[in-house]
Amino acid sequence: MSKRIFMQQEAILDIIQGMARLTRKHLQERKIPDPAMIGIHTGGVWIAQRLHQLLDIEPPLGQLDISFYRDDFTRIGMNPQVKPSQIPFDVEDRHIILVDDVIQSGRTIRAAMNEIFDFGRPASITLVSLIERSGRELPIQPDIMGLEPPLADNEHIRLQGPDPLVLEISGHPGNREAS
Amino acid sequence: MNTPIQQTDAQGRLRHFLSIEGFRREQLEQILDAAESFAMLPGRQVKKVPLLRGKIITNLFFENSTRTRTTFELAAKLLSADVINFNVNVSATAKGETLLDTLRNIEAMHSDMFVVRHQASGAAHFIARHAAPGVSVINAGDGRHAHPTQAMLDMFTIRRHKGDFTPLRVAIVGDIQHSRVARSQIMALNTLGVSEVRVIAPRTLLPAEARSLGVHVYHDLAQGLEDVDVIIMLRLQKERMEHALLPSEHEYFQLYGLTQARLKKAKPDAIVMHPGPINRGVEIASEVADGPQSVILQQVSYGIAVRMAVMSMALGGTAGETQS
């Protein structure tokens, strides 16, 4: 399978800057003064760490490993690299900004929301993603998105990191669709 | 008949957990890593996860054990599985049903997993050999043979307190001869690469083949405890006294009871463990059992997380391949 670098750290950080701006605007419009942020393991956490800093959010950053909430557990089994989820603040009635690196099927986000609710009932969840790509299987859309690269169905985009952050595409662009 | 049961499938995924024997270090560490995530759950509003929703787990206990059965039951429930408890006292085996008949009957209730405790060594293996494809078996203690989940929760406790296994010196004290826990612990400690495992016991409670298990043997408690990082006390079973293997509880305590004074022989930060239930004043003094170096109650909590890890790993990734 061919692998190629799609984007380097500098460009990615520029995009994250833009996402921070959009998120701030979103929070003002929704009149959310004091949000908390949760990153989804692994790539989502890397982006969340930077956003968390840029937005100057007070509660510590939460980290979610959705291994225990996957809907394909009975098919694929336990993720051997499972890490504990850590949300070091009270979720109850809190406005949450949920951060992931790539949104494709939407299943990860569904699992993440299910897990967040087991920590408490949040006031709201805002979804932020670096990449939005085709292939949605559930009605889940990001509120804020950094980039929507045109990708063929059999192309995969992956964020490598954390230092430096690099976006990599693997697979063949044979039947790239117009986006 | 005696072909060994494969505890993992072709992809190396856990299917049965019958004995520590046959597992590699990375595989045991994977169980401990998963348990680490489950150990975080009690801090949350909802303490359970949906991993095993729709699965049925049967606790098949032919030997009484409130604590072990309860932690298995709780572990299954926290994984969202449904649980059947099948106890020998109230069951048909008392009416002459064979082990195999019992198994077939419960299988007809579509159980996905059996958690088996039996007084006969090899009972869990027997059930694993005869269970339908796709049904997992966890050994919750068979005769004098093995009690692998107890050993793993002990390893989890040690790792939580000591971090790395490699430099550790661990002493197991008491009735090694009759202890399935000790056997599994020794195997797990050696697989995880501790630097030294010691067993400390009177000659009558030590199996002849003890040295072949890869341990150093001591008959003197104070000597054996010198500079150890971890002390694992075993429960002294009273029936041993009846079989004249030991003179009296009092004398046993004099020679092999863990007291505060003897504990001082170990490293100052040594932890004291015990699989429970403890006999105060027989194998361990109350001041030690309740003292700052004791981690006995933490072992009970960790037992739930470790059993969740083993159960979920054994039942994950099984859909669509029940016949293969």
Q: Is residue B321 part of a domain?
A: no
Touching check for A84 and chain B: CB below 8 Å?
A: yes
The stretch A45-54 carries a mean pLDDT of 97
Asked if residue B103 has pLDDT above 90, the reply is no
- Burial pattern B78-103, b for ≥16 Cβ within 10 A else e, equals bbebebeebbbeebebeeeeebeebb
Touching check for B139 and chain A: CB below 8 Å?
A: no
A64 contacts in chain B (CB < 8 Å): none
Task: Note the pLDDT of residue B319.
Answer: 58
Task: Note the pLDDT of residue B133.
Answer: 87
B40 contacts in chain A (CB < 8 Å): 84-86
Shared domain check, B267 and B237:
yes
- Cβ contact, residue pair A77, B50, below 8 Å: no
Asked if residue B235 has pLDDT above 50, the reply is yes
Asked if residue B138 has pLDDT above 60, the reply is yes
Structurally, how many domains does chain B consist of? 2
Question: Whole-angstrom Cα distance, residue B116 to residue B146?
Answer: 12
- Which of A2-11, B114-123, B237-246 is predicted with the least confidence, judged by mean pLDDT? B237-246
The stretch B191-205 carries a mean pLDDT of 95
Touching check for B273 and chain A: CB below 8 Å?
A: no
Instruction: Name A93's Cβ contacts closer than 8 Å, sequence gap at least 6.
Output: A120, A121, A122, A123
Task: Note the pLDDT of residue B239.
Answer: 66
Asked if residue A176 has pLDDT above 70, the reply is no
A69 contacts in chain B (CB < 8 Å): 49-50
The stretch B288-305 carries a mean pLDDT of 96
Task: Note the pLDDT of residue B73.
Answer: 97
Of A76, A80, A85, the CB nearest to B30: A80
Shared domain check, B155 and B125:
no
If we measure between CA atoms, which residue out of A2, A1, A7 comes closest to residue A168?
A: A7
Q: Is residue B9 part of a domain?
A: no
Task: Note the pLDDT of residue B244.
Answer: 67
Task: Note the pLDDT of residue B1.
Answer: 46
What percentage of chain B exceeds 90 in pLDDT? Answer: 70
Shared domain check, B165 and B31:
no
Closest chain B CA to residue A86: B40
The stretch B208-214 carries a mean pLDDT of 83
Asked if residue A152 has pLDDT above 80, the reply is yes
A69, A71, A78, best to mutate vs chain B, most B CBs in 10 Å: A78
Return the CATH number at B245.
3.40.50.1370
Asked if residue B62 has pLDDT above 80, the reply is yes
Asked if residue B294 has pLDDT above 70, the reply is yes
The stretch B159-171 carries a mean pLDDT of 97
- Cβ contact, residue pair B33, A82, below 8 Å: yes
Of A76, A81, A92, the CB nearest to B317: A76
Q: Is residue B12 part of a domain?
A: no
Shared domain check, B170 and B259:
yes
Token code pair at residue A98? 């949920």
- Cβ contact, residue pair B313, A86, below 8 Å: no
The stretch A38-67 carries a mean pLDDT of 96
Shared domain check, B287 and B173:
yes
Shared domain check, B170 and B113:
no
Task: Note the pLDDT of residue B238.
Answer: 72
Q: Is residue B3 part of a domain?
A: no
Q: If you average pLDDT over every residue of chain B, what do you get? A: 90
Topology at the third CATH level for domain A3-71+83-170:
Rossmann fold (3.40.50)
Of B46, B50, B316, the CB nearest to A78: B316
Of A65, A73, A92, the CB nearest to B316: A73
Shared domain check, B102 and B36:
yes
Q: Give the pLDDT band (50/70/90) at residue B95.
A: low
Q: Is residue B13 part of a domain?
A: no
- Do residues A74 and A113 make contact, with C-beta atoms less than 8 angstroms apart? no
- Which of A46-50, A111-115, B203-207, B241-245 is predicted with the least confidence, judged by mean pLDDT? B241-245
Q: Is the ipTM of this complex over 0.95?
A: no
Q: Is residue B323 part of a domain?
A: no
Domain span holding position B107 = 25-146+301-315
Shared domain check, B69 and B58:
yes
The stretch B12-34 carries a mean pLDDT of 94
Shared domain check, B252 and B184:
yes
Shared domain check, B240 and B195:
yes
Shared domain check, B94 and B34:
yes
Task: Note the pLDDT of residue B323.
Answer: 31
Shared domain check, B307 and B289:
no
Task: Note the pLDDT of residue B247.
Answer: 76
Of A69, A77, A86, the CB nearest to B50: A69
- Cβ contact, residue pair A74, B312, below 8 Å: no
Q: Is residue B2 part of a domain?
A: no
Touching check for B44 and chain A: CB below 8 Å?
A: yes
The stretch B12-41 carries a mean pLDDT of 94
Q: Is residue B15 part of a domain?
A: no
